Structure 1
Amino acid sequence: MQTLTIDSTLEKRLHQVSQLIGNTPLVALDRVYKNPKVQILAKLEWQQLGGSVKARPAFNIIKQAILHGQLDQNRVLLDASSGNTGIAYGAVGAALGIQVALCLPENASKERKMILRAHGVDIVYTPATELTDGAQIKAKELHAQNPDLYFYADQYANPHNWQAHYAHTAPEIIEQTQGEITHFVAGLGTSGTFMGTSRRLKEYNPGIEIVSLQPDSPMHGLEGWKHMETAIVPQFYDDSLADKNLEVSTFDAYELIKEVAQKEGLLISPSAAANLAGAIALADTIEEGTIVTMFPDSADKYSEVLKQVFN
């Protein structure tokens, strides 16, 4: 695909926005998990534009679409999301003057809906019972009905999703751990974070153990996660990449939200807590090592969950 020459003002804006993506801190969780020989580290992914790990793929998808002539200020970016990717699209789109339309499950948190509206995103709600799968189906229908209006980003199949993590997330982890990472643990949703980061880490050191996490039930409370056996599997997901697969319960994740808040001073989301639960489960099985996981977002958009946890 040929790269086009773009307007100098838009090119400048792309560069400015790129400075707000990635380079998130890596912190040690040594009060929640105490073992002098096993260290658990987490990337605080909410500390970037859009407030979540989804800033990385959203920006890369938009940037590549602009550079290849697929998206401009006269077309609407369309996709399906459980919320975080949509918010990232909205934030990046607002900064670049790109309109965004999003198919969103109607049970998304009120905070996510409010943030999306604040960024000027056009929201099409889909049934809560259909989760993000239903949102995907609706987005494809809308694009088929009006292909000239919409650029369908399709985060579940777009290679620029996982490539954002391959190019940036993994190198950051290698640098921040001074190459001492021994295990990488992450939950599966679109699977972009897991696929891109894991591929680059394996290239750096094939001995790094890669562990994927899934909900322990199709009916779970981990927004953005997929129970792969019962969900529409993302096109670029490769189940052979993981060295090990673990299941995480929503209950265990919710319990960790409180513990992390009280021992580490961090208010984390259910998906971040689920990643930590998986990392702890793994840590209990090894004698020594440096485990890295992701905290995709904070608890800012989960008031209903916080009520359950802290009341």
Structure 2
Amino acid sequence: MDYAENILGTIGNTPMVKMNALVKDVPALVLAKYETFNPGNSVKDRMALQMIEDAEADGRLQPGGTIIEGTSGNTGMGLALAAIIKGYKMVCVISDKQSKEKMDILRAVGSEVVVCPTNVEPEDPRSYYSVSKRLSTETPNSWYVNQYDNPSNAKAHYQSTGPEIWEQTEGKVTHFIVGVGTGGTISGVGKYLKEQNPNVKVWGVDTYGSVFKKYHETGVFDENEIYPYITEGIGEDILPENVNFDIIDGFTKVTDKDAAVYTRRLAKEEGMFLGNSAGSAIKGLLQLNEEGKFGPGDVVVVLFHDHGSRYVGKMFNDDWMRERGFLEEEITVAKDLIKNHIDKPLITVKTEELVSHAIERMRAFKISQIPVADTTGMVGSVDEADLFRAYLENNDIAEMPIKEVMGAPYPIVSATTPIAEVSKLITKENNAVLVDLGNGKHHIITKHDIISAI
């Protein structure tokens, strides 16, 4: 009989899959190291088990102890599976930008999940780095994993992932490409492959808001490069000890939008239902191809970290994509600009209503402009900036009728008016345009709608 003693025995030996549709213009053979076949659905299972076993061996992790780690979700999952089998408690400290699915999955496998804000400095006591360290000092019989600086991270990939890639390609691999976060995968795999063949090129995929690319190229840690980004699992605002920059030949940066768009394209065009970093990785590969990095006869291996089920509420959700301007939709006429909220009623105010009514409506619906109507139609407009100026001049305006403070009515366009024409009507003096939907119905287009379309 062929079976594993427990779920940990299924870690590793993941398949290599030839890519086709998305890489049709790449002259090389492109193979995907498909890490979602690990039991925790990510490459992080490998290093999670290695880090635990090494900590057990040297006494850092004692029987019945508590494992504490700051994670984007996948390392936490791998640690949690090992904790279940080995009898440890698990506390995952995670940033609030990570998907709800990741948090729910961690709780489903028995982990305690502590959520921290994303947009803070690493040294801030609220950051997930700081909270992880604090909890490890406050919790008896605990071990802080610290995947960023833990050498067992890269060791796992040197001992398993790298050799698997070498054997599966029969030593013909010429390029290795992977998104870089903690640095364990690229450094461990890269070290092994270069020991077998020093000519193998190792490329890291970075994201905007991260420091890796510039630091590798200049040796400068530029804090001006650090800002919040959406892409999960890659990029850092610190320099983890696991990132061996000497192993890496170069980096390419991928935008949040491209990462999200290509994550969806992998599913629809390759049948590969993968996570956010996979979109970054394949887009990074295509960018490197545009730079002429690959040729006929090359064997390019790109590693895909995790599974798409952890991003159903994000990259695979049309509303989420649309809100961020990531959904590739054709927007050509006025009606296209409002199609996402065309079912919502137009908020208006009557000429005889009080200014205070308009202010209340702005607050309630979180809007900045309101058309003014009477029995004849649209006769004016109210803008929050105009109301503010009027209030400074006269504190009693709240009890005045709207007709005494309203501005000119917004221009009205047809539903089929080209966006270029609509845009010309948005000026410093005029912040909105009304769309005539017929049957006496109108909707509003604001600067925000135009900017979102751009």
The answer to whether residue 282 in structure 2 is matched with residue 290 in structure 1 is no
Partner in structure 2 of residue 279 of structure 1: 285
Give the letter aligned to residue 75 of structure 1.
G
Partner of 2:185: 193
* Alignment deviations for residues 212-254 of structure 1 (CA, whole Å, 9 cap, x no partner): 1110234322112124xxx121123222321122111121122
The RMSD of aligned alpha carbons is: 2.0
Q: 2:151 aligns with which of 136, 139, 159?
A: 159
Q: Please show how residues 1-311 of structure 1 align to structure 2 within 5 Å.
A: 16-35=6-25, 37-130=27-120, 134-146=127-139, 148-217=140-209, 218-227=227-236, 231-284=237-290, 285=292, 286-288=294-296, 289-303=298-312, 304-308=314-318
Equivalent pairs, count: 294
Which amino acid is 1:182 matched to? T
One-letter code aligned to 1:144 = T
**Separation of aligned partners in 2, 1:242 and 1:67:** 30
Code of the residue aligned with 1:150 in structure 2: it is: S
Q: How far apart are residue 29 of structure 1 and its match? A: 0.8
Q: Aligned partners of 2:57 and 2:5: how far apart in 1?
A: 13
Distance (Å, rounded) in 1 between the aligned partners of 2:169 and 2:36:
20
The 2-side partners of 1:263 and 1:36 are apart by 16
* 1:56 CA drift (Å): 0.6
CA distance in 2, matches of 1:90, 1:175: 30
Query: Cα 1:262–1:236, aligned 2, differ >3 Å: closer, same or farther?
Result: closer
| 1:259 CA drift (Å) | 2.1
Task: Tell me if the contact between 2:206 and 2:235 (Cα under 8 Å) persists in the aligned partners.
Answer: yes
User: What is the TM-score of this pair, normalised by structure 1?
Assistant: 0.88
Partner of 1:5 in structure 2? Answer: none
Deviations 1:138-175 (A, max 9, x none): 111122334x4211111111111110000000000011
Measure the CA separation in 2 of the matches of 1:119 and 1:72.
21
**Residues 39-67 of structure 1, C-alpha deviations (whole Å, 9 max, x = no match):** 21111111112111110110111111222
Q: 167-176 or 93-102: which moved more?
A: 93-102
| Residue 70 of structure 1, CA deviation | 2.3
In 2, Cα distance between equivalents of 1:42 and 1:49: 18
Bigger CA radius of gyration: 2
Unaligned runs of 5+ in 1: 1-13
Structure 1 276/104 Cα, relative in aligned 2: closer, same or farther at 3 Å? same
Give the Å deviation of 1:131: 8.4
Distance in 1, Cα, partners of 2:104 & 2:69: 18
How big is the shift at 1:36?
7.3
Distance 1:79 1:121 in 2: 11
Partner Cα distance (1:118, 1:131) in 2? 30
Segment of structure 1 superposing worse, 176-185 or 245-254: 245-254
Higher mean alpha-carbon deviation, 282-291 vs 79-88, is at: 282-291
Contact 1:80 1:132 in 2 (8 A): no
Higher relative contact order (CA 8 A, sep 6+): 1
- Percent of aligned pairs with the same residue? 30
C-alpha distance in 1, partners of 2:104/2:65? 23
Structure 2: 5+ residue stretches without partners: 210-226, 328-454
Measure how far apart 1:18 and its partner are: 4.1
Answer whether contact 2:153 2:242 (CA < 8 A) is retained: no
In 2: Cα distance, 1:113 partner to 1:145 partner: 23
- Describe the superposition over 1:72-127 as per-residue Cα deviations: whole angstroms up to 9, x where unpaired: 33210111101111111112211222111111113321111111111111122211
3-state SS in 2 of match to 1:129: coil
